Structure formats: C-alpha cells, structure tokens
A and B are shown apart, each in its own frame.
Chain A
Amino acid sequence: NAGVTQTPKFQVLKTGQSMTLQCAQDMNHEYMSWYRQDPGMGLRLIHYSVGAGITDQGEVPNGYNVSRSTTEDFPLRLLSAAPSQTSVYFCASSPSGAETQYFGPGTRLLVL
C-alpha cells in the first residue's frame, strides 16, 4: 500500500491564482481530512469528509473548497490564492474520525 499520497510536494503561486492540491489514499478509508500547519504551530483542520459525497468544514475553511467524488481522492482547491495561505498542507485518512489517522507527506505552498 502507498498509504496517503499528496501532490505536488512544493508549489509557488502568485496572489489570485488558483490551484488544486491532490490527496489520495489506497486503504479504503472513509474519513479524509485536510490540515494546514503554520510555523511554530500545531495543525489546524480545514475541511473533512466522512465518506464519498459528504464534506464538512473544520476550524479554518475560508478560502478553500473540497469535494469527495470517490473514496480514494479528496482534493483541496484554492480558488484565489492569498499570501495568508502560505503554509504546509497535510492530508490524512482513517477508517473513521475516531480512529488512528494516517498523514501524507505534506505540500509546501508559497503564495507571493
């Protein structure tokens, strides 16, 4: 199993550009989530999904969209990037929200 994979590893955007961060898992997990980590801080939940077709907001959802059309994939979309979205983004999956969560390697995003 590849576990949780994320692409790209690193991305530079200009303010106002859009992009999609990809996340995929091959463990047949129902629960998937996106977090951002800013310097010196813990991870904060952006959006999560408890299954295909179901998504919900986390602690810091503004500026981000998600969809879950399949069990395997959970992309995160930035419609109009802002410098405040410069961060490291982690995707995670687990059988359910109350069980062990497994994290991807992260995507480092710089918005100029």
Chain B
Amino acid sequence: LAKTTQPISMDSYEGQEVNITCSHNNIATNDYITWYQQFPSQGPRFIIQGYKTKVTNEVASLFIPADRKSSTLSLPRVSLSDTAVYYCLVRIGGSQGNLIFGKGTKLSVKP
C-alpha cells in the first residue's frame, strides 16, 4: 500500500494554473506537509510548507483540507522554467513514523 500518492506526470501550458495533489491517508497528526521542486542533476528545492487550511508564498499556494489526508500544491501561472519534478514530504504513521517523500509528479510546461 503506497504511503503517499501523486500523479506520475502532468502537462500544462505557459500562463495556466497547475494543481498537483498528494494523497497521504496515514499522515502523522501533528506534523507539517512540505513540497519540493527538483530539476535534473540538482537537489530538491523547498517550495512551501503548511499544517492546515491554506498557505501562500511568493511562488505557490498549499491547500490542506481539514482531515489532512491530502494536500494540493497550486502554481498560479506556470512558465517553461517550472518544468520539473514536484514532491510532497510528509510523516506517515504517527509522531515516530517515517518522513516520506512521494514518488514525484513530473510537470511539463509547454509554450
């Protein structure tokens, strides 16, 4: 049984809003949900982090429903440079559980 689930890939066009959802049914009760972006041959880069409801920063928004069993990363107006793999990071199985990165969603932005 997968610990987190993300779509394997998504396609978009420049200027569109992109929403990527991560499902994490067994998330630890009192812990953060974090999202990262990764380009080829580079380490992941922190995008945004939240605990509940909605968080917004200069590059993205993060929506977390009340049950916290999923989270959605929203990229408002994507450009070609947003083509990358996006990962959610959550703790699964309680406060002593494992910190798990999802398998990632490969976003391709087309002109």
The reply to whether chain A is a binding partner of chain B is no
Which residues in B have some Cβ–Cβ distance to A below 8 Å? none
